[in-house]
Amino acid sequence: MAILGFEITGYQIAFVVLAGITLGSAALVVLMPNIMRAALFLGLTLLGVAGLYVLMNAAFLAAVQVMIYVGAVTTMIILAIFLSHRLMQVGFAQAIHNPVFAFAAAGVMFIFLFITVANSLWVRDICAPGPANTDVGVHAVANALLQPYVFPFELASVVLLVALVGAVVIAKEDRPGEP
């Protein structure tokens, strides 16, 4: 289909819609004064990212993204909001106290990520026009995780384990008579 002289495929329309949802709700996460709504928009942002994964034929990654980030992480963030405010106080408000510093930090982060992404190997494959033809199946992901990338993979799991142990230590109540 051609609109206004531009050749537009369904893939591009879907990409624009999903990217719009992702970026729009990401902006709302920052701008929403009500922190609960901000957390819900974070969930929408993560869903949008999952949609982008689907567009890239990485269905497994998308499903895992939804399961872990939307299902678990957003829930945890909401629980943290519940636990760190007085229960029935509706006016959860978030404020940006130091916009200059916040922008600087976000900008540095963006530049860092952009350089990493632009220099990585897979960008060249993905940047080929149209959707990638090879379906990144579960087997490919499994092989990648357990052969070339086994060290970072295990390192990540060790980091998570340390976080878990740390959480248990912090949450453990102090009993008298124990060191």
Given the rule CB under 8 A, which residues bind other proteins?
A: 1-4, 10, 34, 36-37, 40, 43, 47, 59-60, 63-67, 70-72, 74-76, 78-79, 82, 87-88, 90, 135, 137-138
Please check whether residue 144 is in contact with residue 137, taking contact to mean a CB–CB distance below 8 angstroms.
Answer: no
**Total number of residues shown for the chain:** 179
Instruction: Provide, rounded to whole angstroms, the least separation between the CB of residue 43 and other proteins.
Output: 6
Please check whether residue 11 is in contact with residue 131, taking contact to mean a CB–CB distance below 8 angstroms.
Answer: yes
Q: Which is nearer to other proteins, 76 or 167 (CB)?
A: 76
Please state, in angstroms and rounded to a whole number, the distance separating the CA atoms of residues 12 and 15: 5
Q: Which is nearer to other proteins, 113 or 140 (CB)?
A: 140
Instruction: Provide, rounded to whole angstroms, the least separation between the CB of residue 123 and other proteins.
Output: 24
Instruction: Provide, rounded to whole angstroms, the least separation between the CB of residue 148 and other proteins.
Output: 20
Q: Which is nearer to other proteins, 88 or 170 (CB)?
A: 88
Outline where DSSP puts E strands in the chain: 2-3, 6-7
The structure tokens 């939307």 sit at 70
